[in-house]
Structure 1
Amino acid sequence: LNGLFAMSEMALVSSRKARLQKLVDEGDSAAAAALSLNSEPTRFLSTIQIGITSVG
């Protein structure tokens, strides 16, 4: 479970906004969610850190 949290964190941090926007423009709803999280990462990353701490 800890690995899943860490993987989610790294995926968000390493994603490129331009690529996500292209996917959103093509109608990808998952990319739209990722772009939303990428635009305001503080809440998501805080939640991930709490999850990592709780599991670890």
Structure 2
Amino acid sequence: MFNDMPPLTHSQQQDAVERIQSLMVQGMSSGEAIALVAADLRRQHRSDMVTYDKCDEEDE
């Protein structure tokens, strides 16, 4: 289920929990909030990977 989740630091985990809690306070269900935050984390991770790959190519 979580095989495609990037590894997170403790600080990133705390930030994710706070975002999920904030979304739930605003009326979003826990499942929706978790899915939204997880999708954002995956998107950011992929973006970081692409940027890293491009930087490596420029150095060569």
What TM-score do you get using the length of structure 1 for normalisation?
0.35
Bigger RCO of structures 1 and 2 (CA < 8 A, at least 6 apart): 1
What TM-score do you get using the length of structure 2 for normalisation?
0.34
Question: In proportion to residue count, which structure has more helix?
Answer: 1
Higher-Rg member (1/2): 2
